[in-house]
A = this chain, B = another copy of it.
């Protein structure tokens, strides 16, 4: 109990909200700068891409790029092109995911989905445009930031693997096929690791590698990223079922959350929350050797789990006791 109180005191010293606000604003400015060069003569495609990025959500993934990079001493300016690329890929995946051909969601973050505003064709192209632009921004980073071309090329190779058939796209495809048949918990984790985990893992690895983290440190933050990615998706699934999503979000969805390949729908809320607690604890264990410098990542990981644990009437901080 003494340990739990001490931990809460340490966390209180670190102001996560102002940390997130500053980085989120930096990401917003950088994303806006990336798109601005196309604005003049690009018509609706520019508007649809912009709408896919603004207003943003929590900007978790680009902030993870910044936080992992800053942990190992990289400058924010050097990290921002990679943070933008990761957020553009996240934005593209949401636009395509919401299309009638996939999830058929009319709302995203409580606002009309991209295809409800611009039409299905333009939304499809806006997603394609964001995915393409992600690789353009990233491949331009070597000239912009003086990073070695070998490193930037390696990161393009790694990110394109993480969001392709072996990762994000493959996870979405398995999810689509899982809707037609019964799934077990192994399949749910398999989908989560790819659909959500791969990009979160890549975000953290990108930041760490831009900063020149050692091989051992990279392995450690990769394990942190793997746990965080799965924790994030399980938390999201729990909140979906407990109705803690943004007002109106998914209200028009064509399917019940209980019928999807999610942790709580397969093993129930209580066991999903147990798994979330385990993952949360493992996240913090991986960060322990980095000490105070890892406070932003620690606070982020704690926040990811907290809402989904609190929403069952329990205090997340009290439950985790790390």
Contact = CB atoms under 8 A, between A and B. Distances in A.
A156 B177 contact: no
A148 B152 CA distance: 13
The A contact surface, by secondary structure, is: helix
Contact of A135 (B124, B154, B156): B156
A38 B142 contact: no
A164 interface: yes
Contacts of A169: 45, 125, 128-129, 132
A157 interface: yes
A166 interface: yes
B121 A140 contact: no
B128 A166 contact: no
Nearest to A132: B164
Interface string A280-320: 00000000000000000000000000000000000000000
Interface residues of A, number: 53
A226 to B, nearest CB: 19
A9 B19 CA distance: 73
Contacts of A96: 124-125, 128
Nearest to A190: B41
A4 interface: no
Contacts of A161: 136
A157 B172 CA distance: 27
A122 B173 contact: yes
A120 B43 CA distance: 27
Contacts of A28: none
A46 interface: yes
A38 B165 contact: yes
Contacts of A140: 157
Contact of A125 (B115, B153, B172): B172
Closest 4 CB pairs of A and B: A45-B173, A101-B120, A136-B160, A139-B157
Interface of A: 38, 42-46, 49, 92, 96, 99-102, 115, 119-125, 127-129, 131-133, 135-136, 139-140, 142, 148-150, 152-154, 156-157, 160-161, 163-166, 169-170, 172-174, 176-177
